Chain A
Amino acid sequence: MTKVKNRIRRLRFDHDEMTQEELASRAGCTRQTIIALEQVKYVPSITLAFQIARAFGVTLEDVFQNEETR
């Protein structure tokens, strides 16, 4: 089984403590979805994943990691 983890919280911190609202606005989603992503309660579509990576100016792999779990 695989689990998609992310570094969104860390990346927001690295980008001058970017707010969830600002990231949501840049990525084209709601703040509640950013909260769900940070809590690893939601796996985004590939489109939203790319938009989030673009909002931070990094690659997809810098934001999301596919982790193998048992």
Chain B
Amino acid sequence: MAPLQKRALTGLVFGVVWVVAIIVVFIIKGGVGTFNEDLGFRLIVNGLWIGGLIFYGILMLTLRKQSQVDERDRLILGRAPVVQLWAVIFSLVIWMIVLTESYWDQGIPPIFMYLVFMSTLIVSAVAQSIGILIGYWRIGRND
């Protein structure tokens, strides 16, 4: 397994744990309504969110500096943003439909702007790992 592939797999496993941890915190602490009012809750979520993004940054950026990444890895890395783009678009479409249908009459609470932004960065980070793994899978299929 190539070093970049190992990191992408680590990123995917971490991403699943990361997303589950944020969802569990949301459920335990009382959901979006509490998130809007409770500063402590927001700090916990912000810590998880920013901590996760820093982890992803370290995971991917430190590898690019080393000689462990060659032209084949860079080719795969260069194609991963396609998966990121589709994942982000898909998540935004889901947000748009759910929020529009849930708050059709009242108007969407501003706190959701924050949550949409947060989830978009999470989706983008996790989708990069998925995009890299798909790249290795496709290049190994010999098509």
Contact = CB atoms under 8 A, between A and B. Distances in A.
Interface of A: 28-30, 32-33, 36, 39-42, 44-45, 47-48
B139 A41 contact: yes
Interface string B71-86: 1110000000000000
B96 to A, nearest CB: 40
Nearest to A29: B70
> Size class of B's contact patch?
10 to 19
Judged by DSSP, the binding face of A is loop
B68 to A, nearest CB: 6
Contact of A30 (B72, B141, B142): B72
A30 B140 contact: no
16 contacts: A28-B67, A28-B70, A29-B70, A29-B72, A30-B3, A30-B72, A32-B1, A32-B2, A32-B5, A33-B70, A33-B71, A39-B142, A40-B142, A41-B142, A45-B71, A48-B71
B2 A30 contact: yes
B118 to A, nearest CB: 35
A48 B74 CA distance: 13
